[in-house]
A = this chain, B = another copy of it.
């Protein structure tokens, strides 16, 4: 393993809390490819003890440097404290299978390229750790790579936000949250922050106007202070900043006018998580367990990373099994119904599907996401099939295509965090698979 191939930025121990989707251009650094960086072949954390250069740690950030991060995203619990999302003790609902091996041969042209590649080849490009495709409610494709197994769990990164948004809109539909109200009516502690005069709806759709940079390259970016606050490790003695998510959020300053432009800022999800916790009196881990996880027939518990006082990271801390993420995607596709039970009100799913403000979204200038919008912490493609998705850095995905009756879920460990690295090999690929399945019926 050559140092030269390492992830070029020195990541702080808190780096793991930096998962965001930015629209920066893909970095041009040369990385080991998917096969060269295979975390199993690399032998991370194997041995008693493992060889010194194969030991990964949280506090020095080594666990999240590429290529080591390929192992760590499937073993987050070994590095940090976590809180369970119990599925109860019920028998999991089986997933029927109807394998379609031809999917591997589907061809498409990556965005910005001229030569087509196959679906199978695209999985290497995006450093996929696992992919499940559901069609008409059955698994038509299921593959695992690297350190992930069917019984393993993987970081969902910012896909977590869509879980938070779903819980949020469920509570809106239940009448516990009024999205037209100001955030400060629920969380008085946020009165003097940027969120004080924002509505809950603006938080849910990320149209708040915040002085909050998620630009990794800038050492003064607010994301670093947020990360330090959420880091569960004891703070250094000379540290005088906020020590938890709840201490950080009231420090966020306003910049601009709420409601005008989409601005993808992780802190919105943590504010929504706070509101959910406040109105229910429970952590979002408990709320997710009670409202969805125990009812969905999942095979495994999920888990969140937590800060120093046990607060789950609503903006990016969820980890779960790939097959369970497929179940969750199918639940959304099926308008909130699973196992004969209306788990999520159909009206909540309708609210997601109707999408957010396209003009506000366009102001964020995502060159690969023309015409999209953002609603309830879901990304709405507004394509012909009405597809919408949950997206997380390094390639995490739930893609729901109602017209094709298809769900694609993916865990990945792309060395580049930004989705713009994966999108050229992903967005046209999803559409090609949808087309194939519509034809195949």
A residues with a Cβ closer than 8 A to B are 45-50, 55-59, 75, 77-84, 86, 88-89, 91-92, 150-153, 233-234, 244, 246, 274, 277-278, 281, 283, 299-301, 303, 306, 308-311, 321, 323
Contact = CB atoms under 8 A, between A and B. Distances in A.
A91 B91 contact: yes
Contacts of A277: 48
The quantity of this chain's copies bound in the complex is: 2
B278 A89 contact: no
A321 B301 CA distance: 13
Contact of A151 (B58, B81, B86): B86
A299 B89 contact: yes
17 contacts: A45-B309, A46-B281, A48-B311, A49-B311, A50-B309, A55-B310, A56-B310, A58-B81, A77-B81, A77-B83, A78-B81, A78-B306, A84-B153, A89-B92, A89-B151, A89-B300, A233-B233
Given A49-B311, A81-B81, A86-B151, 14 more contacts: A47-B281, A48-B277, A49-B309, A56-B310, A58-B81, A77-B82, A77-B84, A78-B81, A78-B83, A79-B81, A88-B151, A89-B321, A89-B323, A233-B233
Contact of A45 (B152, B246, B310): B310
A358 B283 CA distance: 51
A76 to B, nearest CB: 9
Nearest to A280: B48
A48 B301 contact: no
Contacts of A301: 300-301
B77 A274 contact: no
B309 A57 contact: yes
Contacts of A77: 77, 81-84, 303
A150 B86 CA distance: 11
A342 to B, nearest CB: 23
A82 to B, nearest CB: 5
A139 to B, nearest CB: 13
A49 B187 CA distance: 11
Nearest to A54: B309
A305 to B, nearest CB: 10
Residue of A48, A78, A303 with highest tally of chain B CB at under 10 A: A48
Give 3 closest A-B pairs by Cβ, nearest first: A48-B277, A59-B234, A89-B299
A351 to B, nearest CB: 24
A233 to B, nearest CB: 7
